[in-house]
């Protein structure tokens, strides 16, 4: 079911903790786009749990900025693995991430919203090689 | 694989739909014709519809992804080199939202080095 940002915010408000609401509002930082429709991605609790449990380990971001992911993982661990989820994702100028709801009940399950970070000099150099590839090295 | 060349790594977990291909050194995205963007791919949970696969310059990150469902996953390795004329794949930058030293491979490739974990 596609949702406007305003509808998504309303659904999240019924179950999200204050910290999650702050992140979602920060993601929706362009008020004039509030009526824009977002299309959900269908996924399962099991697949989503494994992905984000791993990303908690692999992410180089400071632990505090992974609060949403930590809470999402904790919530997903309580659900049957085949529980169907709806994921709504958005990339804003300052923040980006996904918001997850239970497909059947509409319950807010969590978010993976984080602030964009500056890439390291090494990664910027590698990105530049992709933009201007030579035969020797991408 | 020569030591001096830059290597990128991909972890393929034990329940991954492309595991059988990965064991033969074949890299297949979820959907070659998918319209998923690099930003959407990097945000997660859209791999099945994506023309991209995720790679990292940090082997330990690939190992963690390969181990996502326990033993049975593999690590794929490629040299970070530009495609030859006529190749149907390309490297693309990732927003790398979660700071995983990620780079994206668009398309289908063969010949990856495979390592069991």
Does residue B42 sit within a domain? yes
- Closest-CA residue of A relative to B12 is A51
Q: What is the pLDDT of residue A134?
A: 57
- Helices A18-27 and A5-13: crossing angle in degrees, nearest 10, is 170
Q: What is the pLDDT of residue B49?
A: 94
ipTM of the complex: 0.90
Does residue B1 sit within a domain? no
| Least confident stretch, A26-30, B61-65, B85-89, B97-101 | A26-30
Chain B: closest CA distance from residue A129 (Å): 9
Average pLDDT of A61-87? Answer: 97
* Cβ contact B57:B101 at 8 Å: yes
Q: How far apart are CA A49 and CA A114, in angstroms?
A: 17
Structure tokens at B28: 């297949």
Closest CB to B82: pick one of A47, A96, A135. Answer: A135
* Cβ contact A99:A92 at 8 Å: no
Contacts with B, A 80-109, CB within 8 Å: 87, 89, 91, 96-98
Q: Which ranges constitute the DSSP H helices of B6-107?
A: 19-23, 38-43, 59-66
CATH number at residue B13: 3.90.210.10
Does residue B109 sit within a domain? yes
Cβ-in-10-Å burial (0-12, 13-18, 19+) of A104 comes to exposed
HSE-up (13 A, CA, CB side) for residue B29: 26
Average pLDDT of B76-99? Answer: 94
Does residue B86 sit within a domain? yes
Does residue B59 sit within a domain? yes
Q: How far apart are CA A6 and CA A36, in angstroms?
A: 9
Closest CB to B96: pick one of A50, A123, A138. Answer: A123
Confidence of residue A129 (pLDDT cuts 50, 70, 90): confident
Conformation bin of residue B85: beta by default, left when phi > 0, alpha when psi is -120 to 50? beta
The percent of residues above 90 in pLDDT, for chain A, comes to: 76
* Cβ contact B101:B18 at 8 Å: no
Q: Could you tell me which residue, A30 or A68, shows the higher pLDDT?
A: A68
Hey, are the CB atoms on B64 and A58 less than 8 Å from each other? yes
The predicted-structure confidence for A7-48, as pLDDT tens digits, reads as follows 999 999 999 999 999 999 998 877 667 778 899 999 999 999
Structure tokens at A49: 């749990």
Whole-model pTM above 0.90? yes
Does residue B40 sit within a domain? yes
Number of domains in chain B: 1
Q: How far apart are CA A62 and CA A65, in angstroms?
A: 6
Q: Does A32 touch chain B (CB under 8 A)?
A: no
Contacts of A55 in chain B (CB under 8 A): 44, 98, 100
Cβ–Cβ contacts within 10 Å for residue B19, how many? 16
Q: What is the pLDDT of residue A137?
A: 58
Does residue B2 sit within a domain? no
pLDDT for residue B3 is more than 50: no
Q: What domain range is B60 assigned to? A: 7-116
Contacts with A, B 16-35, CB within 8 Å: none
Average pLDDT of B36-61? Answer: 96
Helix (H) or strand (E) holding B116: strand B113-116
């Amino acid at each position: 079911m596609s949702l406007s940002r305003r509808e998504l915010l309303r659904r999240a408000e019924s179950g999200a903790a204050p910290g999650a609401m702050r992140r979602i509002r920060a993601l929706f930082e362009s008020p004039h786009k509030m009526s824009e429709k977002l299309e959900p991605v269908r996924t399962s609790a099991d697949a989503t749990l494994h992905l984000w449990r791993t990303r908690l380990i692999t992410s180089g971001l400071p632990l505090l900025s992974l609060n949403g992911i930590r809470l999402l993982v904790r919530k997903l661990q309580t659900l049957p693995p085949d529980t169907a989820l709806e994921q709504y994702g958005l990339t804003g100028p300052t923040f980006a991430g996904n918001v997850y709801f239970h497909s059947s009940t509409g319950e807010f399950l969590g978010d993976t919203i984080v602030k964009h970070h500056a890439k390291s000099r090494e990664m910027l150099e590698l990105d530049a090689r992709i933009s201007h590839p030579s035969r020797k090295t991408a | 694989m020569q030591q001096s060349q830059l290597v990128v790594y991909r972890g393929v977990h034990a329940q991954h739909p492309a595991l059988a291909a990965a064991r033969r050194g074949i890299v297949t995205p979820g959907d070659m014709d998918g319209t998923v963007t690099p930003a959407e791919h990097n945000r997660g949970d859209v791999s099945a519809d994506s023309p991209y696969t995720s790679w990292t310059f940090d082997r330990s990150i690939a190992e963690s992804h390969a181990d996502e469902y326990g033993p049975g996953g593999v690590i794929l390795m490629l040299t970070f080199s530009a495609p030859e004329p006529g190749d149907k794949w390309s490297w693309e930058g990732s927003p790398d939202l979660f700071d995983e030293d990620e780079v994206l491979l668009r398309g289908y490739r063969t010949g990856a080095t495979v390592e069991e974990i």
